[in-house]
């Protein structure tokens, strides 16, 4: 299996990113550990308040900028206020970068179409390589697709064993939109599922590794978060085994439509 996916705009995106939501003061070290372990994709957001730390780690890593894939996201208050460009420039400054690889609308709040159109302009200026969305259900995507000429490269959604939206995954695939799974481990809640432990024992892997591998085999990009070096290394070490069809089916059957985060149709922030 290749370790990157090709987006609908031609750019390559590494299939495993380090997520840094709630990484707090450990962010810089976690990013450095991740880069050392082979990660080339980091997923942050303006509202995580750690873009500076991510930027410092990128500088310190010594890795050529062209080898890294950096994602950040436009926060809801900036979308509502029509401040896409200002918010983007602020993120860029904090990250100490002159472009980001992927910029996402964080949540489908009022004003997302206008924000997305501004992102298209920033893309034309070379400041964003790929543009996408997050927390967009099918009806949000249908609305956006009817109003803009550039299809989002990515939809970043909660997707893990207990929260599987197959209909959205199919819609994304049909429209050449790559799905990224946020909270791929269910924020840790899926790690002690007995059925996953049985599969993990069989492959001599951890439950985290089985979940992440299952998602990759479903063509979903994963963003596991950890601030522990050994877990960061472990979460990347998933290219040397393959779940068979029977185990893929067993994982698919664990769905409970149970979210760990907010429903994109009902949130109050
Ligand atoms: N677009 C959005 O709206 C949105 C929303 C939520 C999240 N996200 C993105 O998705 C990323 C991941 O989501 P998440 O942070 O909610 O949850 P997650 O990656 O599903 O799970 C992270 C939790 O699992 C633990 N963990 C990680 N690897 C482990 C391993 N190998 N063994 C045991 N425990 C392990 C972590 O603990 P330690 O850190 O203590 O190791 C942490 O408590 C975020 O960081 C963010 O980038 C995006």
pLDDT tens string 1-16: 999 999 999 999 999 9
Q: Considering the entire predicted model, what is its pTM?
A: 0.98
Ligand 1 pocket, residue 184 CB under 6 Å: yes
Percentage above 90 pLDDT, the chain: 100
Domain ranges of the chain: 4-252
Whether ligand 1 lies within 6 angstroms of the CB of 130 is answered as: no
Quick check: is 48 catalytic? yes
Closest CA to 72 of 46, 90, 108: 46
pLDDT, tens only, 98-128: 999 999 999 999 999 999 999 999 999 999 9
Q: What is the pLDDT of residue 178?
A: 98
Report which protein residue has its CA nearest ligand 1's atom 31.
231
Q: What is the DSSP string of 139-181?
A: HHHHHHHHH-SS--SEEEEE-BTTB--HHHHHHHHHTT-EEEE
Instruction: Judge whether 98 and 106 are in contact, CB under 8 Å.
Output: no
Ligand 1 pocket, residue 188 CB under 6 Å: yes
CATH of 4-252, one of 3.40.50.1820, 3.20.20.100, 2.40.50.140, 3.30.1360.170: 3.20.20.100
- pLDDT value of position 59: 98
The whole-number pLDDT of residue 162 equals 98
Judge if the beta carbon of residue 224 lies within 6 A of ligand 1: yes
Ligand 1: centre distance to CA 19 (Å)? 6
Atom 10, ligand 1: residue with shortest CA distance? 182
Which of helix, strand or coil describes residue 10? coil
Q: How many CB atoms lie within 10 A of CB 201?
A: 12
pLDDT value, residue 88 = 98
Task: Using the mean position of ligand 1's atoms as its centre, give its distance from the Cα of residue 82 in Å.
Answer: 30
HSE-CB at 217 with a 13 A cutoff on CA atoms is 20
Q: What is the mean pLDDT of residues 44-65?
A: 98
266 band by pLDDT with thresholds 50, 70 and 90? very high
Burial class of residue 124, CB neighbours in 10 A (0-12, 13-18, 19+): exposed
Catalytic entry in 48, 103, 112, 236: 48
From 70, 226, 259, 261, mutation site for ligand 1 pocket: most ligand atoms within 8 A of C-beta:
226
CA dihedral (226, 228, 229, 231) positive or negative: negative
């Amino acid at each position: 299996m290749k370790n990157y996916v090709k987006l609908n705009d031609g750019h390559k995106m590494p299939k495993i990113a380090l997520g840094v939501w709630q990484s707090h003061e450990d962010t810089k070290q976690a990013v450095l550990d991740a880069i050392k372990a082979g990660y080339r994709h980091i997923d942050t957001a303006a509202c995580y308040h750690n873009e500076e730390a991510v930027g410092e780690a990128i500088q310190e890593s010594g890795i050529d900028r062209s080898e890294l894939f950096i994602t950040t996201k436009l926060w809801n208050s900036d979308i509502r206020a029509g401040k896409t460009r200002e918010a983007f420039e602020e993120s860029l400054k904090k990250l100490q970068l002159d472009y980001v690889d992927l910029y996402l609308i964080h949540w489908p709040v009022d004003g997302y179409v206008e924000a997305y159109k501004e992102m298209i302009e920033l893309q034309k200026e070379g400041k964003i390589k790929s543009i996408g969305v997050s927390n967009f259900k099918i009806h949000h995507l249908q609305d956006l697709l009817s109003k803009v000429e550039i299809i989002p490269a990515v939809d970043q959604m909660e997707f893990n064993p207990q929260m599987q939206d197959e209909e959205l995954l199919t819609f994304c695939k049909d429209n050449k939109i790559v799905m990224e799974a946020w909270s791929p481990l269910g924020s840790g809640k899926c790690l002690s599922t007995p059925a996953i432990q049985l599969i993990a024992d069989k492959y001599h892997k951890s439950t985290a590794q089985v979940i992440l591998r299952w998602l990759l085999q479903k063509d979903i990009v994963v963003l596991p978060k950890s601030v522990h070096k050994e877990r960061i290394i472990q979460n990347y070490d998933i290219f040397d085994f393959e779940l068979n069809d029977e185990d893929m089916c067993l994982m698919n059957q664990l769905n409970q439509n149970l979210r760990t985060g907010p429903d994109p149709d009902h949130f109050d922030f």
